Each structure stands twice: as C-alpha cells, then as structure tokens.
C-alpha cells in the first residue's frame, strides 16, 4: 500500500493519462462524453457494461476504439438465437498426433480476449447467455471438467437493441446484476451529429492511438480501489441503496408504491467503485455526493423493477431513482 504522497502522485498521473485516453477515443467516437465516461468507469472498476441504444449510434465503434486506446485484445460476438455455449466458450476436438495416438485438444472460443463486444446479447438463448455471464463473473470457463482462465483484464461490453423485441430473450434480473453499469446511448445533439457527418464521410478518418497497456489498466484498477472515500459518502451510498428497497422502513413512498424489488449489496459495491472512477475522470482525488448523484442511475436502474401497477400507470424508473437520490443527498447534507 503506497503512502499518501505516493497515492496522490499516482492518482494525478493516472488522471492525466485518462485525459489523453479520452482525447484519443473522441477522435473516432465523437461527442457523447457521458457515454465515454461511463464505459471508462466500468473498465477502471474492473467491471462490465451494458450498452442500451438504437442501431447506428456508434456502440460497435466505441468498443473497438476502446480496445485500441486501452491496449486490449478485442473480440466480437454477434448473438443469434442459434448460438450455442460452445460457440463462445470453445470446445474440445479429438486429434490424431504424429505418433498415431489420439488426444483431445481444447480450441478456445472468441470469449478468450480482453475486451469482448457481445452484440445484441438478448438475441441469444438463456443457455448461451448464462454461459457468457458465468464467464464474466468467474473470469474462467470450464470445458469437460477442466477450467481455463481468461486473460486479465477481461471486460464485456454487451449491447441491447431497445426496440426490436421479436425473437429476443430478455436478460433475467439476476443476470443483469452482473453488469456494473447500464449505459444508455442517446441520439447525438445537432452539433455533434454535424461533426460526425464531417468526420466520417470524407476520404480518410481520424485514427485512435493506444494510450494504455493491459498491465497499465490493471495497475489503474488497483489505484481506483485505493482512492479514499469519506465516511459521509459511504453513508450516503448505504442510505440511497436501502431507500430504493420497497420493504425497508426508510424507503420513501414513491419506492414503496411503485418498485417491485430493489438493489442488493452488489449495487452498493458498484457505487463505491464507480464514484471513485468518476472523481478520477473529473480530475479529483476523492469522490463527493455529486458523484453519487451522477452514478446512481447507471448503477441502480438495471437492479430495480417497477411493479405491474406502476408500469400500468406509466411510472418512470429513472425519474424515481433521480428523485430518491436527490432527496437522500439533501437529508444527508442537512444531518
């Protein structure tokens, strides 16, 4: 564990390197700073991200650019209903050796990379989804009783198309919880769309350049975990997560009346990590209540669900989370 002076120097140096990485990313993924920050936060925390957005918004381009900038070996799987677990994990084949004997050899599947884009993950069957999500959690795969470790760091950025639901298998809530953050990719504003047109329809395009190596990203993940978090921010995270559970005594009326189930301890863990990453991306040495407000939605929205009655009334989960988060911050500040 470095001393305080060494830790401050390491955080400041990492902040400068992240600023360079963001500049490189925006050469090919123009605008959408919030989306870039959230994906970088997921990587800095050693987690996975779920990208939600309409076709053509640059999700594939973003992941490919991140692979280059972060110095990771990238891979991509297009999920389809007929995809089987062996298609992503790998399988054993029987081969004849030069001496005439036979032996099984393991052939690695496309999951054996460091940055995997799982494109339209909800198009795969639950069996295949489970195989991927188990690998995400355990960082290894088991084939024929033998475990094969994935090369660290291992990150999955999965995409879902929110409009085409025919022939899809929505991820179960327990599996959604494996994603550190949910990242909504909106339409760009007019100025950004103008810049995209000018940058991508000419003879040549800007190229991103590597800023990190895999070893440097692993070191950055350790620095994030060493960043100090004030007791007030820790209490705020606990208050917020517990306030989002409808059966807790401290849950506000909006949660009790509209939320079917709330976030578990993994949500609090995710907030503890992502607020540090957000502070780092903003060039600060420690997270604040504002970081909790920024990360509440991306961390909590896929870990909660509206009740049937609330959906029928047209209630909006992001709005409920934002209100609960702001009220919790106000109460904590007044205490």
Q: What's the pLDDT score for residue 1?
A: 58
**Distance from first CA to last CA of the chain, Å, rounded?**
33
Task: Give CA–CA dist 141/145, Å, rounded.
Answer: 10
Q: What's the pLDDT score for residue 335?
A: 62
Angle of helix 265-281 relative to helix 214-226, nearest 10 degrees, comes to 110
Task: Give CA–CA dist 119/124, Å, rounded.
Answer: 10
Q: For the chain, percent helix, then strand, then coil, each to nearest 5?
A: 50, 15, 35
Q: What's the pLDDT score for residue 201?
A: 87
Q: What's the pLDDT score for residue 97?
A: 77
> b or e along 4-32 (b: 16 or more beta carbons within 10 Å of the residue's beta carbon)?
eeebeebbeebbeebeebbebbbebbbbb
CATH number of 1-80+116-123+151-226: 3.40.50.300
Q: What's the pLDDT score for residue 234?
A: 96
Among residues 105, 114, 106, the alpha carbon closest in space to that of 135 is found at 114
Q: What's the pLDDT score for residue 168?
A: 74
Q: What's the pLDDT score for residue 54?
A: 86
Count other Cβ atoms within 10 Å, centred on residue 172.
Answer: 12
- Domain residue limits, the chain: 1-80+116-123+151-226, 227-335
Taking the chain (335 residues) in runs of 10, the rounded mean pLDDT of each run is 84 94 92 94 96 89 94 92 91 81 86 93 87 88 86 93 71 83 93 91 86 96 95 95 93 93 94 97 93 96 92 92 92 70
CATH topology of domain 227-335: Helicase, Ruva Protein; domain 3 (1.10.8)
């Amino acid at each position: 564990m470095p001393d305080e002076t060494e830790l401050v120097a390491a955080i400041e140096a990492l902040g400068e390197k992240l600023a360079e990485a963001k500049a490189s990313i925006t050469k090919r993924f123009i605008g959408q700073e919030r989306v870039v920050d959230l994906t970088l936060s997921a990587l800095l925390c050693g987690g996975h991200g779920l990208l939600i957005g309409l076709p053509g918004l640059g999700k594939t381009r973003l992941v490919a650019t991140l692979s280059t900038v972060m110095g990771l070996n990238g891979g991509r799987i297009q999920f389809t209903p007929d995809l089987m677990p062996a298609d992503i994990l790998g399988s054993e084949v029987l081969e004849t050796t030069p001496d005439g004997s036979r032996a099984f050899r393991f052939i690695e599947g496309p999951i054996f990379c460091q940055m995997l884009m799982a494109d339209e993950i909800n198009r795969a069957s639950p069996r295949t989804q489970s195989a991927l999500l188990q690998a995400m959690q355990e960082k290894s795969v088991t084939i024929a009783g033998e475990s094969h470790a994935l090369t660290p760091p291992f990150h999955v950025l999965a995409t879902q198309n929110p409009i085409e639901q025919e022939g899809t298998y929505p991820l179960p809530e327990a599996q959604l919880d494996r994603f550190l953050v949910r990242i909504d990719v909106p339409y760009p504003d007019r100025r950004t769309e103008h810049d995209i047109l000018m940058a991508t329809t000419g003879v040549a395009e800007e190229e991103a350049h590597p800023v990190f190596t895999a070893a440097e990203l692993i070191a950055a993940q350790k620095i994030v975990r060493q960043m100090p978090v004030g007791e007030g921010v820790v209490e705020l995270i606990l208050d917020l997560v517990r306030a989002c559970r409808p059966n807790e005594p401290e849950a506000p009326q909006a949660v009790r009346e509209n939320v079917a189930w709330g976030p578990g301890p993994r949500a609090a863990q995710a907030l503890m990590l992502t607020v540090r990453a957000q502070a780092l991306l903003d060039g600060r040495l420690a997270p604040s209540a504002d970081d909790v407000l920024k990360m509440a939605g991306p961390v909590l929205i896929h870990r909660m669900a509206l009740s049937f009655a609330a959906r029928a009334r047209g209630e909006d989960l992001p709005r409920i989370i934002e209100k609960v988060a702001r009220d919790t911050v106000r109460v904590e500040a007044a205490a």
